[in-house]
Amino acid sequence: MTFQVYDTTLRDGAQREGVSYSVVDKLAVARLLDEFGVGFIEGGWPGAVPKDTEFFDRARTELDLKHAVLVAFGATRRAGAVAADDPQVRGLLAAQTPAIALVAKADLRHVERALRTTAKENLAMIHDTVTHLVAEGRRVFVDGEHFYDGYRHDPAYTASVVETALAAGAERFVLCDTNGGMLPSWVTAAIADLTDRIGVAPELLGMHAQNDTACAVANTIAAVEAGVRHVQGTANGYGERPGNADIFAVVANLQLKLGMPVLPEGCLEQMVRVSHAIAEIANIAPDTHQAYAGAAAFAHKAGLHASAIKVDPLLYNHVEPEVVGNDMRILVTEMAGRASIELKSRELGLDLAGHPETLSRVTNRVKELEAGGWSFEAADASFELLVRSELPDAAPARPFTLESYRVLVEHREDGAVVSEATVKIRVRGERVIATAEGNGPVNALDEALRAGLGRHYPELRDFELADYKVRILEGSHGTGAVTRVLVETADARGGGWTTVGVHPNVVEASWHALVDALTYGLNRARV
């Protein structure tokens, strides 16, 4: 039986606090999920949510899916109603999708207390709705809401829900951990007990796990190991409350750990791109520490790791990052050893293999500076300048030498605050004095330095300060604190780099970061 990868980013994922997709967003997410190769895309609840109704209408003409089948999600008919006449069920058919997922009560307590109907009527609601939709030519999935809690409470009734749905023609019965309270061994035990009790083939079952115990991915994998062949999940684990099973981690675990080729060839490598693009559309910053897809998923900080990675990257990576479209990175911090410095330098295009003294000097310098509050982890450009300055044939580090700078901040009677900076520098043998105003002291300093350098280095016009972050370092107090400044600079070619400066005076810390930023940019522009 074919393995089914079923995505519910556009339905359960949209139930995450803070997420609100437009119809255009939903269409874009569906295209991305299709590129990732999922077999089913649950698009929302037509008839209940107006945007979802419009999504299915537009999807018919605007989506050309290569891998996925669109699924409309809804509920079983209301108690006492006729399925064919139930407006909600009619809304599902009106979406004209090849497949429909029905949420059905699988816990007797919910039947009695939330639906306020009888055990028998709930079974009839499931039976009638499934047979009606199948007769209308739809593939039907039944999501057994609260399956696991219900099975613990009254296994015989919950098992009868599964039997009813499958007997009525459902293609799969999906075991939902709706409250997300399960642990992997409990999932395994429940599936084994259910299959023994009613003799159902586990391949006819699916798994939908909420993440309230942080076990959604593990629970899903446990279900597959128990024989289930349909898994549900969402991009980046978005979903109601803490979320759903992260479909990226689920699929990667199945393919790379259990050897199950559940995606079409070539799709797994799309993971990082698809994950980040969906985060962008959802307006959620990508989780850098997300397994497999996060920017830090293969980032190594400890010196001991780097020294082994130098021999073979797989000694400290559980898989090759490229198989999910990710990259390995080496972080340079006070935890670095010579191997970390060598690998990081290589990443930046500098081969230090034949320079053991340089390696030792840079390693010691990094440790010293980090102890004083510097941080190179997020400032590759400052690190590269540091390495270059320690190379035996190092060129002069700066495009100028500083005689002095001065910054004034004037608070005027009318409330206006004006900053003015003057720099006195030597550029290519010439003494230059330049003054500029800015909306703050750092901006004024930046402008004055650019004005002073501009005639000799016209390419400076292409750089702009993209971000500026100040952090007060721990262990220091009040206005006398040591500050760390990170400056992010962008150029007209779409590139960007980050530099760092540290000093008890925030202007001096900013000066270091600014000078590194311009120096690095000028070196780069000349390559």
| Residues forming the site for ligand ACO (CB under 6 A) | 45, 48-49, 75-76, 78, 103-105, 114-115, 145, 178, 240
For residue 9, count other CB atoms closer than 10 A to its CB. 31
Select from ligand PYR, ligand ACO, none the partner in contact with residue 210, using the beta carbon and a kind-dependent cut-off of 5 to 8 Å.
ligand PYR
Q: Which of residues 330-369 bind ligand PYR (CB under 6 A)?
A: none
Interaction residues for ligand PYR, span 147-176 (CB under 6 A): 176
Q: Using the CB atoms, write b or e for 348-366: b if 16+ within 10 Å.
A: eebebeebeebbebbbebb
Size of the site for ligand PYR (CB under 6 A): 8
Q: Which amino acid is at 369?
A: L
Residues 230-259 that bind ligand PYR (CB under 6 A): none
| Residue 376: other Cβ atoms inside 10 A | 23
Residue among 206, 200, 87 nearest 145 (CA): 206
25 touches ligand PYR (CB under 6 A): no
Find which of ligand ACO, ligand PYR, none residue 208 binds, CB within 5 to 8 Å per kind: ligand PYR
- Grouping H, G, I as helix, E, B as strand and the rest as coil, residue 241 is coil
Residues within window 184-213 making contact with ligand PYR, judged by CB under 6 A: 208, 210
Cβ proximity of 496 and 486 under 8 Å:
no
Cβ atoms of 150 and 106 within 8 Å: the answer is yes
Q: Is 128 in the site for ligand PYR (CB under 6 A)?
A: no
**Which one of residues 42, 128, 143, 516 is an interface residue with ligand PYR (CB under 6 A)?**
143
CB of 75 to ligand PYR, least distance (A): 10
- Do the Cβ atoms of 18 and 54 come closer than 8 Å? no
Q: Which does 48 bind (CB under 5 to 8 A by kind): ligand ACO, ligand PYR, none?
A: ligand ACO
List the one residue from 35, 145, 370, 380 that touches ligand PYR (CB under 6 A). Answer: 145
Which of residues 179 and 523 has its CB atom nearest to ligand ACO in the complex?
179
- Write down the least CB distance from residue 250 to ligand ACO, Å: 19
Smallest CA-to-CA distance from 502 within 478, 470, 480 is with: 470
Min CB(177)–ligand PYR separation in Å: 7
Spell out, one character per residue from 482 to 521, where the chain touches ligand PYR: x when CB under 6 A holds, - when not. ----------------------------------------
Pick 14 or 514: Cβ nearer ligand ACO: 14
Closer to ligand ACO by Cβ: residue 75 or 170: 75
Cα dist. 104→86, 232, 273 in Å?
15, 16, 35
User: What's the CA gap between 403 and 433, in Å, rounded?
Assistant: 10
Shortest distance (Å) from residue 16 CB to ligand PYR? 12
Burial 206-240 (b: 16+ CB within 10 A, else e): bbbbbbbbebbbbbbbbbbebbbbbbbbbbbbbbb
DSSP string for residues in 257-283: IS----S-TT-GGGHHHHHHHHHHHHT
Q: List residues binding ligand PYR (CB under 6 A).
A: 12, 103, 143, 145, 176, 178, 208, 210
